[in-house]
Amino acid sequence: MTSDLETRQINTIRALALDAVKRANSGHTGTAMALAPLAHVLFTKVMKYDSGDPSWPDRDRFILSAGHASMLLYSMLYLTGFGLELDDIKDFRQVGSRTPGHPEVGVTPGVEVTTGPLGQGIANAVGMALAERHLRARLGSEVVNHKIWTICGDGDLMEGISHEAASLAGHQQLGNLVVIYDDNKITIDGTTDLALSDDAEKRFESYGWDVRNLGEASEDTAALEEALLEAANSNDKPTLLILQSHIGFPAPNAVDTPGAHGAITDDTEIAGAKTAMGMDPDSTFSVDEDVLAAYRTAGTRGASLRENWTQQVAESDLSATWIETLLTGKPIPNWSDELPSYEAGISLATRNANNQVVDALADVVPSLVSGSADLTGNTGTNIASEPMTAVSPDGRKLYYGVREHGMGSIANGMALHGGLIPVVGTFLVFADYMRPSVRMAALSSAKVIFVWSHDSIGVGEDGPTHQPVEQIASLRSIPDLPVIRPADGNEVSQAWAVALTRNGPTALILTRQNVPVLEGTKKPNQVERGAYVLIDPPDPAVILAGTGSEVQLCVEAAGSLAEDGIASRVVSMPSWELFEQQDKEYQESVLPAGVPVVGVEAGVSLGWDRWADTTVTIDEFGASAPGNVVMEKFGFTASGVEAAARSLLS
């Protein structure tokens, strides 16, 4: 039976949601109200955490996949003492506040991932569960032993990414993962039966999950506690708890209506809800002292567990350095010494160079976990390790299956869990399937290394469906995502030096076809500048600036032009984003004003006007033929670059 104090605690969550959304005149009230008892039980009786140390590595992780209900999470983080203040609740959805419209990791203490686009949180949770189990296998359960808790709604399960992630979770038998499905049968457009007739129970059972339908238990704290604790003890399957809640409860008119999904701002409706809860309808942002005290006590009940954990780690047979390395994801000192280098004149695809880098770093970057969407050998992500499976969770090669979107978001979850650096690969054209997850990686500063191979029309016979032309430009438009297209193996190694030393994600764009290792690319620290001078004759008349496999064409064209007395500077430009970060002096030393520039890239011309006066690019789809034939057909030859330079000079 719920005590008077517990009832007032739950109603405080509801009232804070009402008041914050009303003050902002924006937000989503109903789900936060309906799930207040669930959040109360999770944060006071079930989850392992210490609000005094939100970054404790062995804490349980909580993900609100239904991120629109952010006031539910913000209320709990304030009440249990994560560092939010009542003023932060009042500043909900205001500029610069720590309580934005959807939870954002790094903005609000206690928020584990950035959620908002529905379904992302479920996939993030699968990634976190994989990371926890993997680290537990390598460090032991005394160092790593926690659960991943997730709340999702109808929208999360309608999005296709939830299928991809849940299917892999069932296959991997992630018994450390618990998802609570808020089955309130309400969407923005109306009741869910407008567009949904799935049987979620059968669906998840077919994935290999343990599914338990709790029915009308959303107000029964004892039943919720029992179900959650039972789910926490599951060891061989992920768990889905189906909970039928009533959105907007106990508002007098909004309950179980589409209007409750959004902002409940009507004064009469808010007053009616507060009256139904036995609260003063005229009081706002009111938190009783005993309610706050009880929540603050609950928030620190894990302090002793954290202290015991610290002691266990200190007494572990494993070295402190090894534990820290795996818990933080830091490479072993001097790791960059292992990066391979290549002599000019040899020829190899940059995807193959990438695989050599991954293998070279495996021992010195023990946190690397690499895999792909059914293209492991094709994308250069085939790390020398056993697969990560339910039987062998310590494996470092993860087979994602044909699940590009899920793979991206699962990798985000692994990275944000801490301890692992995920590497994920597929063909560049399929970056389109991953874009929401890639965007969230950049927004979240998730340290994921995205490897996209088969990077141009040079793919060849598979034709336009598989030949990326607009994808590089599209990826370059994402803020905080350095896109690096190496010209050869040496630039691949240097690209990895960039990827492993920055905090957020990095995109590596790699060739299927062999390319020559060029003279001058072996010099250190060139890729980190974004662009650099590869061939530098005195008083150049023209600059040939290329990326990736087209840099070799610039080199050849420069030789031909030199035979006619035309001095041509060649610039390798692997990353526009990194080049833009350089100071003006360096930029002008590479691309001096007054010297015309030919930009060369087997992709669309979009964006090249920032750097070049003319381009050798492709603003149409490709064709099905051998790769070298397709490249020649669309003008990607040394003679094509030479002709563009002569035309520009004339």
Which sequence positions are flagged as catalytic?
A: 404
Say if strands 597-600 and 421-427 run parallel, antiparallel, or are unpaired. unpaired
Please state the φ and ψ torsions of residue 243, each to the nearest 5 degrees. Answer: -125, 125
Q: Smallest Cα–Cα separation from 270: which of 290, 289, 285?
A: 285
Taking the C-alpha atoms of residue 200 and residue 613, their distance in angstroms, rounded to an integer, is: 56
Q: Smallest Cα–Cα separation from 245: which of 256, 232, 260, 257?
A: 256
Residues sharing a CB contact under 8 Å with residue 511, sequence separation 6 or more, in sequence order: 349, 350, 351, 453, 454, 455, 456, 458, 548, 549
Written as six digits, the tokens of 232 are 């926490």
Taking the C-alpha atoms of residue 369 and residue 364, their distance in angstroms, rounded to an integer, is: 13
Question: DSSP code of 43?
Answer: I
| Cβ proximity of 616 and 640 under 8 Å | yes
Taking the C-alpha atoms of residue 161 and residue 183, their distance in angstroms, rounded to an integer, is: 18
Beta bridge partners of 64: 151
Q: In the chain, what is the straight-line distance between the N-terminal and C-terminal CA atoms, in Å?
A: 88
Classify residue 620 by burial, with Cβ atoms within 10 Å: 0-12, 13-18, 19+: exposed
Edge-to-edge strand order for the sheet containing 483-484? 397-399, 368-372, 421-427, 449-453, 506-509, 483-484
Interior CA angle at 222 toward 219 and 223, to 5°?
75
